[in-house]
Chain A
Amino acid sequence: MMTRMSTRVLLWAAATLAGSASLGAQHNFTPSDVENGGRLYQSACAGCHGAAGDQVPGTALRSGTFRRATTDDEIARIIRTGIPGTSMPPNPVSETEAATIVAWLKGADRLSPRGATGDPVRGELLFNGNGKCVSCHGPNGSGSRHAPALLDIGVIRQPSELSRALLEPEADINTDFRTVRITTRAGATITGRLLNQSSYSIQLLDAADRLRSFDRAGLREVTILPTSPMPSYAGTFSPQEIADMVAFLSTQRGAR
Chain B
Amino acid sequence: MRRALLIISMAALVAKVHGQEGITFDRLLKTAAEPQNWLTYSGDLGGQRHTRLTQITPANVRQLEQQWVFQAQSLEKFEATPLAVDGVVYTVQAPNDVVAIDGATGRVFWTYAHANSTQVRPCCGRVNRGLAILRDTLFMGTLDGFLIALDARDGRELWKVRVAGARPEAGYAFTVAPLVVKDRVIVGPAGGDFGIRGFIAAFDAATGAEVWRFYTVPATGEPGNDTWAGASWRTGGAAIWTTGTYDPETNLTFWGTGNPGPDWNGDSRMGDNLYADSVVALDADTGRLKWHFQFTPHDEFDYDATQVPVLADVQLQGRRRKAMLFANRNGLWYVLDRTTGEFLSGKPFTKVTWTTGLDGKGRPLDVVSPTPEGLRVYPHVVGGTNWYSPSYSPRTGLFYVPAWMDTSATFVKSPVEYVEGRAFLGTLPGGTTLRAEGKAINRRLPSEGYGAILALDPRTGERAWMFRMDDVTDAGVLSTATDLVFSGGREGFFFALDAKTGAPLWKANVGGLVQAGPMSYAIGQRQYVAVAAGHSLFAYALRQADR
Contact = CB atoms under 8 A, between A and B. Distances in A.
Interface in B118-145: 118-126
A61 B444 CA distance: 23
B416 A50 contact: no
A47 B425 contact: yes
Most chain A CB neighbours (cut-off 10 Å) among B414, B433, B470: B470
Interface centre among B122, B416, B422, B507 (most CB of A within 10 A): B422
What's the dominant secondary structure at chain B's contact region? loop
Interface stretch (A38-46, A69-77, A128-136): A38-46
A90 interface: yes
Interface in A18-63: 39, 42-48, 50-51, 55-57
A91 B421 contact: yes
Interface stretch (A143-151, A161-169, A194-202, A241-249): A194-202
Given A43-B426, A47-B123, A194-B443, A199 B470 contact: yes
A50 B425 CA distance: 14
A224 B76 contact: no
A15 interface: no
A73 B271 CA distance: 43
B422 A91 contact: yes
A50 B421 CA distance: 19
Contacts of A199: 468-471, 491, 493
Contacts, number: 97
Given A87-B76, A198-B491, A44 B423 contact: yes
A25 B272 CA distance: 47
Contacts of A42: 414, 427-428
A89 B120 contact: yes
Interface in B496-527: 507
Contact of A39 (B122, B169, B414): B414
B332 to A, nearest CB: 25
B121 A90 contact: yes
Contacts of A87: 76, 122, 125-126
Contacts of B33: none
Question: Chain A: interface residue count, which band?
Answer: 20 to 34
B285 to A, nearest CB: 37
A87 B446 CA distance: 32
Interface size class of B (residues with CB under 8 A): 35 or more
Interface in B462-507: 468-471, 491-493, 507
A23 B540 CA distance: 58
A93 B422 CA distance: 8
Contacts of A47: 123-124, 193, 423, 425, 428
A178 interface: yes
A45 B426 CA distance: 11
Interface string A177-204: 0100000000000000011111110000
Given A43-B416, A43-B422, A44-B423, A57 B437 contact: yes
A185 to B, nearest CB: 19
B493 A51 contact: no
B195 to A, nearest CB: 12
Contacts of A39: 414-415, 427
Contacts of A45: 423
A48 B118 contact: no
A198 B443 contact: no
A47 B416 CA distance: 14
Contacts of A84: 118
A139 interface: no
Interface string B422-451: 111111101001010111111111100000
Interface in A76-97: 82, 84, 87, 89-93
A176 interface: yes
B59 interface: no
- Which are the 6 A-B pairs with shortest beta-carbon distances? A89-B121, A46-B428, A198-B491, A92-B421, A57-B438, A84-B118
Interface of B: 76, 118-126, 169, 193, 414-416, 419-428, 430, 433, 435, 437-446, 468-471, 491-493, 507
Given A92-B169, A93-B419, A194-B443, 6 more contacts: A42-B428, A43-B416, A47-B425, A50-B433, A90-B119, A199-B471
6 contacts: A43-B426, A47-B193, A50-B428, A55-B435, A89-B120, A199-B470
